[in-house]
Chains A and B, each alone.
Chain A
Amino acid sequence: MTPGQLLLFAMGGLANAAYLFIVAAGLSLVFGALRVINMAHGSLYMVAAFVTVVIANQVGAGLGFWAGLLVAVAVTGAIGGVVEVLVLRRVYGREHLVQLLGTYAVSLVVAGAVRIVFGANYRTVASPIPGHLNLGGYSYASYSLFMIAAAIVIAAGVWAMLYRTNLGRNIRAAVADPDLLNATGVNVTRLYTTVFVIGAGLAGLGGSIVAPSQAIGSSIDTDVLVLAFAISVIGGLGSIIGSAVGSLIVGMVISFGLVIPATNPFALAFVFIIMTAVLTVRPRGLFGLPEN
């Protein structure tokens, strides 16, 4: 493998990692703050992707995409608020299986609704950032570089929100001891709703950003969820830094694993081998915190 090819495959791994992190970030935030494994996360991601594609195709790929992104984040945030009030408030504090079933039921409802509203056919939208760059004699899509940048901004934004704002301080306090936080006058119920709305909005942001790079159909919710969960488990459920590192590991393993003849047949299996190894050695993940 020449240095140019090494760079080529590393960039491919980064693009893959960015895609996976964008999807996994909201999942991780919600689990970290609420200790809820949100099986409907992929559904919100899918709704946002459809909303973005529809608006972008109506208005035009450039401006339409950005308008679609804003609308999609607002729509998924609103759906998230409704889901939190109607479903999650009834399952907080109960065992994870109940939470899984509750959010899984939501995912089925959303999947059915999406099929009714948007139909079964796939949709595509042109990239709002067309063009490509040449590095070391190979081409890279400008949009992939945008996705990498977006993933970095999202990671930094969520970290700053958690560690540099009052909201983040309250979220971390709620994770540590919600009753004590409540006693200080903070409305924890509203705080939980806010966190879930932000998590849903992040799912929406992910769906919108990914939309121009792939076909949008009524199954993209489940396509990505398995790898997103694997990333969260490797990095540590609830840790944004863990999600970033987990995405990087998975993205690189897939990128290099598929092109090296000896590892190709096991490229995807390696992801789950790593996940199993992490679970065995450090059950809470590389950067995860132990549950209270």
Chain B
Amino acid sequence: MNLVPRIARPLFWLALATAATILVGACGGSATSSNGPVTFKGTKKVGYSAPLTGQSALYGHAVSQALNLAADDINAKGGVNGYKIEMDIQDDGTTVPQAVSNTKSMILQDNVVALMGSVTSAQCLAESPIAKQNKVITIDATCNSWQLTTESDIVNPYWVSIVPNTYMEGTAAGRLAASLNVSKIFIVSPKYLFGISETNAFVAALKKANSSVQIVNDPSTWYVPFPTNPRWDSTINAIQAAKPDLVYSNIFAADQINFVKQALAVDPQFFVKYPMTTLVSVDELNTLGSQYPLGMHAYMRAPFFALQNNNPRLTDFISRYRAKYNGEYPSDWAVMDYDAFTIWAQAANAAKSFDADQVVKQIFRAPIRSRCSRTR
């Protein structure tokens, strides 16, 4: 399998995201076989409300696998503070109410010592106050709306994010679009916190860099319901009618797969006529395989194939991930959540405590601070 040629245009912001992830990747430890049987004081759980079903099932599956692998690796090295770490993964169906219910259940009934951030920003926005109220640290590697870590009434001191936020991604995509010498841009985005936040950043950066660029669809039509009807006829036809020079999108997972597949059925040259700048992950590439169109301006958070060179720890992670999960390649989300979990384990070990204050302090202290991207 050779995925690299399918990404036709290396982007500077891809490089930025990649560089950030290489730093993050460096934090992840490879499992080393223990010299003897490891004894534990007991078991502690780490919770993850996962979209194992629903719109983002593609991502929840990969993240869950990565977290289980990380737990195995951590336990092989003696666990955390002498305790064996067990993942507590509960399906939320990519819905906010179930994510909230899972978070409460994991904190109040399962007594988790840490949480991993969910996939969508809408879910994270709902989970964060619960985690904050109960003083449970959350390590977030996927949901990334900038409001989660910067808006005063939302900020949670126990929320640690290692993912480039929507302002960074939207701004980078906007600057790139402005530099592409295009005059007409069509926007399609999911209608919830992530899509609105990233699209606003895109538009602001685009207009700042090149004020003459015209966005051809009315702002009220930029957004599609999330999750949406699997048929994308309306959007595809609206693009045909508007004839833009570039389509900017941050639709993802099943939505992106359906959109790309249906657009190519309408016209195999669709993405040649209407080039697209879009958020992509290894999951979409794997699912569509050779059907994925060439010429896409893809921005990715942690594509393993772009990170692999000169990073033996990441290479080792990829090998072990594939060995454990039937040859599957780790998606961007798997790479990042593995690192997020490892960061938490390192910090909790260094703090000699599971207390959220102590662990957060350690995360922001050297050496982790010098090697990982993070916002707070």
Question: B353 near A: Cβ within 8 Å?
Answer: no
Contacts A8-B240, A122-B287, A126-B291 given; does A268 touch B231 at CB 8 Å: no
Contacts A8-B240, A121-B287 given; does A261 touch B220 at CB 8 Å: yes
Specify which chain B residues have a CB less than 8 angstroms from the CB of A258 in the assembled complex: 221, 224, 234-235, 238
Contacts A15-B231, A122-B254 given; does A139 touch B266 at CB 8 Å: yes
Query: Which of the candidate stretches A92-100, A216-224, A278-286 sits at the interface with the other chain?
Result: A216-224
Question: B102 near A: Cβ within 8 Å?
Answer: no
For A263, the closest partner residue in chain B by CB is B220
Contacts A124-B287, A124-B291, A219-B57 given; does A144 touch B225 at CB 8 Å: no
Q: Is the CB of B234 within 8 A of A140?
A: no
Report the Cα distance A217→B265, complex, angstroms. Answer: 20
Chain A to chain B contacts (Cβ below 8 Å), 18 pairs: A11-B237, A19-B231, A115-B53, A120-B61, A122-B58, A126-B291, A127-B265, A138-B237, A140-B266, A141-B262, A142-B265, A213-B231, A214-B231, A214-B262, A222-B54, A254-B229, A258-B221, A265-B223
Classify chain A's interface size: 35 or more
Report the Cα distance A255→B234, complex, angstroms. Answer: 5
Question: A174 near B: Cβ within 8 Å?
Answer: no
Report the Cα distance A138→B238, complex, angstroms. Answer: 11
Kindly list 4 other residue pairs between chains A and B, CB separation below 8 angstroms, not including A12-B236, A122-B287, A219-B55: A130-B265, A254-B231, A258-B221, A265-B223
Report the Cα distance A149→B55, complex, angstroms. Answer: 29
Specify which chain B residues have a CB less than 8 angstroms from the CB of A139 in the assembled complex: 240, 266-267, 270
Which residue, A12, A138, A218, A261, has most C-beta atoms of chain B within 10 A?
A12
Specify which chain A residues have a CB less than 8 angstroms from the CB of B231 in the assembled complex: 15-16, 19, 213-214, 254
Q: Is the CB of A124 within 8 A of B261?
A: yes
Contacts A121-B61, A121-B286, A215-B287 given; does A220 touch B234 at CB 8 Å: no
Specify which chain A residues have a CB less than 8 angstroms from the CB of B234 in the assembled complex: 9, 12, 16, 254-255, 257-259
Report the Cα distance A15→B234, complex, angstroms. Answer: 10
Contacts A122-B254, A124-B288, A218-B53 given; does A259 touch B267 at CB 8 Å: no
Q: Is the CB of A144 within 8 A of B240?
A: no
Q: Is the CB of A267 within 8 A of B237?
A: no
Question: A194 near B: Cβ within 8 Å?
Answer: no
Question: B230 near A: Cβ within 8 Å?
Answer: yes
Specify which of A144, A218, A268 is in contact with B265 (CB 8 Å cutoff): A144
Specify which of B241, B257, B268 is in contact with A122 (CB 8 Å cutoff): B257
**Distance (Å) between the CB of A216 and the closest chain B CB?**
10
Say whether chain B's binding surface is mostly helix, strand, loop, or mixed.
helix
Question: B151 near A: Cβ within 8 Å?
Answer: no
Report the Cα distance A19→B268, complex, angstroms. Answer: 21
Interface residues of B in 240-282 (CB under 8 A from A): 240-241, 254, 257-258, 261-262, 265-268, 270
For B231, the closest partner residue in chain A by CB is A16
Specify which chain B residues have a CB less than 8 angstroms from the CB of A12 in the assembled complex: 233-234, 236-237
Report the Cα distance A184→B288, complex, angstroms. Answer: 56
For A138, the closest partner residue in chain B by CB is B240
Question: A13 near B: Cβ within 8 Å?
Answer: yes
Say whether chain A's binding surface is mostly helix, strand, loop, or mixed.
helix
Report the Cα distance A253→B328, complex, angstroms. Answer: 41
Specify which chain A residues have a CB less than 8 angstroms from the CB of B268 in the assembled complex: 132
Taking beta carbons and an 8 Å cutoff, which residues of B are in contact with A?
Answer: 52-55, 57-58, 60-61, 93-94, 218, 220-221, 223-225, 227, 229-231, 233-238, 240-241, 254, 257-258, 261-262, 265-268, 270, 286-289, 291, 328
Report the Cα distance A35→B174, complex, angstroms. Answer: 55
Question: A111 near B: Cβ within 8 Å?
Answer: yes
Specify which chain A residues have a CB less than 8 angstroms from the CB of B241 in the assembled complex: 5, 8-9, 138, 259
Report the Cα distance A30→B57, complex, angstroms. Answer: 30
Which residue, B54, B218, B235, B266, has most C-beta atoms of chain A within 10 A?
B266
Q: Is the CB of B225 within 8 A of A268?
A: yes
Per-position contact with B for A59-86: 1 when CB-CB < 8 Å, else 0?
A: 0000000000000000000000000000
For A265, the closest partner residue in chain B by CB is B220
**Distance (Å) between the CB of B69 and the closest chain A CB?**
15
Q: Is the CB of A215 within 8 A of B262?
A: no
Question: A183 near B: Cβ within 8 Å?
Answer: no
Specify which chain A residues have a CB less than 8 angstroms from the CB of B218 in the assembled complex: 261, 264
Interface residues of A in 103-130 (CB under 8 A from B): 111, 115, 120-124, 126-127, 130
Q: Is the CB of B266 within 8 A of A8?
A: no
Contacts A132-B266, A144-B265 given; does A217 touch B58 at CB 8 Å: yes
Specify which of A255, A260, A264, A265 is in contact with B233 (CB 8 Å cutoff): A255
**Distance (Å) between the CB of B59 and the closest chain A CB?**
10
For A134, the closest partner residue in chain B by CB is B267
Question: A241 near B: Cβ within 8 Å?
Answer: no
Contacts A13-B233, A144-B233 given; does A123 touch B287 at CB 8 Å: yes
Question: A192 near B: Cβ within 8 Å?
Answer: no
Specify which chain A residues have a CB less than 8 angstroms from the CB of B230 in the assembled complex: 19, 214-215, 220, 223-224
Report the Cα distance A214→B259, complex, angstroms. Answer: 8
For B257, the closest partner residue in chain A by CB is A215
Specify which chain B residues have a CB less than 8 angstroms from the CB of A218 in the assembled complex: 53, 57
Contacts A9-B234, A15-B231 given; does A213 touch B225 at CB 8 Å: no
**Distance (Å) between the CB of A20 and the closest chain B CB?**
8
Contacts A120-B57, A261-B218 given; does A15 touch B291 at CB 8 Å: no
Q: Is the CB of B227 within 8 A of A132?
A: no
Specify which chain B residues have a CB less than 8 angstroms from the CB of A261 in the assembled complex: 218, 220-221
Report the Cα distance A267→B234, complex, angstroms. Answer: 11
Report the Cα distance A174→B287, complex, angstroms. Answer: 46
Specify which chain B residues have a CB less than 8 angstroms from the CB of A262 in the assembled complex: 220
Specify which chain A residues have a CB less than 8 angstroms from the CB of B224 in the assembled complex: 258
**Distance (Å) between the CB of B319 and the closest chain A CB?**
20
Specify which chain A residues have a CB less than 8 angstroms from the CB of B60 in the assembled complex: 120
**Distance (Å) between the CB of A47 and the closest chain B CB?**
15
Question: A21 near B: Cβ within 8 Å?
Answer: no
**Distance (Å) between the CB of A66 and the closest chain B CB?**
18
Report the Cα distance A139→B268, complex, angstroms. Answer: 10
